[in-house]
Amino acid sequence: MQLYNTLSAEERAIMIDDAGKQRLTLSFYAYAKIQDPKKFRDDLFVAWNKLDALGRIYVATEGINAQMSIPEENLEAFRATLEIYDFTKGIRLNEAVEHDDHSFLKLTIKVRDKIVADGLNDETFDVTNIGVHLKAKEFNEILDDPNTIVVDFRNHYESEVGHFKGAITPDVETFRESLPIINEQLQNHKEDKNLVMYCTGGIRCEKASAYFKHQGFKNVYQLEGGIINYAKQLKEEGLESKFIGKNFVFDNRLGERITEDIISQCHQCGKPCDNHTNCENDGCHLLFIQCDECKSAMQNCCSAECLEVVNMPLVDQVRLRAGKQVGNKVFRKGKSDNLKFKHSGELPNVALGAAEKALDIRQKVKIKKVLLGKAEHYYVKAQVGQFTVENNELNSGDKILISGPTTGEQEMILEKFIVDGTETQIAKIGDKVTFEVPFRIRLSDKIYKILG
């Protein structure tokens, strides 16, 4: 019985494009007492794998937290898999503001100690004794009350690109850090103020509201369904948005726009920008904000040091990373002396710029292609690129696509190429192919054969 992924992210992306089906990005959570999280996890994987569901899901004895992507046509079948459990019957599925077919490319379900790490070891703390849920209209109204204190229970890199006006935005990297900070800061307002809280989808506030009621706060409220559900209700009811900017999300999109306001800056040049990226250096992967101009100039890197590393031969890069945690195991959360325009803590409520009108994110990729391999090196003076063929064969005369986060998508006809120092007509799996390219490639680039 298959209980784990068998395809790479690249292979899955190609399958999604080839299928041509609309996918939905959604999230949900439930606090409950699960006796056997491992069995629950395995049962979910079997059921959801059949439905081509992808995502990142955490299961614990205290419940489930899920962010997912599913084919739209399988939505009702997916709901049916949740109806067999008492604590997920009729559960609200938060649909993303902006859907993206590539928001998730693997189905990952992990068993954790807790679905939200809180650092608490208080057995008298009842996570089900929660605050009052507020819908968008009620949330807007209570924000206008002068006796209201509104707190953002997300992390500094989330609130930097978007938050509710007037909110307390703790300068923290984890949820567990924010609980004692806010508790101490508001000790004198346990009875005379409305403590109103929000987060991305509601799961952190669900626990936070119960915690602050446990600490003796009398008037505790939370935004039902978080920012995601708030944005949905704004559109449905024509309400004013008291949230400004972009909502950070933990999938490949890294954000979805709520208002056209840009309230943050490129961390490298200071230009108004709210697009997050991860440093291209596999030994770094710093999460930071980078504009298109700096992305091109710095090749997706956060610093001159990392830029130097990514232009080294791959063997030297691997040597530098020896014995260190790298790649997806690294998630540095946007704190570095190299980031000159990073802001956190007390944040502004005014826009620095306006976002350009986005293309339809649901538009399907029209080009039919098959992955061939990846970039290995670029010879600057000769304008020559080298690629390793990992799948299929490459032939002289093939139409190819070179694609990457900085390179974009570049099509060309491959008239001649070299393998092992000799010009040839065909390259097989394992060959290193060298040919002229009229643009600079990066090690993050992939090469595809265009079909038809």
Verify whether residue 279 is a known catalytic residue. no
* 30 beta partners: 64
Outline where 21-113 has alpha helix (H).
37-50, 75-83
Q: Is 381 left (phi over 0), alpha (psi -120 to 50) or beta?
A: alpha
Provide φ and ψ at 47, rounded to 5°: -70, -45
Closest CA to 417 of 403, 407, 402, 405: 402
Task: Report the alpha-carbon distance of residue 52 to residue 41 in Å, rounded.
Answer: 16
Residue the block writes with tokens 């809180």: 118
**HEC profile of 329-353:** HCCECCCCCCCCCCCCCCCCCCCCE
Task: Report the alpha-carbon distance of residue 261 to residue 161 in Å, rounded.
Answer: 9
Task: Report the alpha-carbon distance of residue 318 to residue 323 in Å, rounded.
Answer: 10
Buried-state track 141-170, b at ≥16 Cβ within 10 A, e below 16: ebbeeeebbbbbbbbbbbbbbbbbeebbbb
Instruction: Give catalytic residue positions.
Output: 199
